Amino acid sequence: MYAPEFIHLVVSERDNLIEGHYRARYRVTDRAISPSIAFRFRGQVQQDFAQLAWAGEAGAAGEAQIRLLSADRLEMKWSTTVFGDAPQLAAGRAVLVRRSAP
């Protein structure tokens, strides 16, 4: 696993449909692959969990799960099922905390 330098996640929900985008950069020092990941996702919410399909850059696609841990924390897991034209990381997992408005 590679540690993230940053993760930016935007999520919106309407009528039990969740969608948004995920953007991150990881510390990749031992491989000749891009440290950046960016994709859009969409899927159904079931209580505190959502199973999502995502599509990213250069034809990459995969699956993700979001699980609500508390009012301001969630767990995001993603994995690649279709690799695009450029080598990239295959999966990631993080617990994210909602940033307060300035």
Instruction: Please report whether residue 36 resides in a domain.
Output: yes
According to the model, what pLDDT value does residue 95 have? 94
Structure confidence by residue, pLDDT tens digits, 24-53: 999 998 888 888 999 999 999 988 899 999
What are the CA-CA distances from residue 96 to residues 11, 13, 60 (Å)? 12, 17, 23
- Tell me whether residue 102 is in a domain: no
What pLDDT was estimated at residue 48? 87
- Domain span holding position 19: 4-97
Count of the separate structural domains present in the chain:
1
Q: For 57-78, write each residue's pLDDT tens digit.
A: 889 999 999 999 998 999 999 9
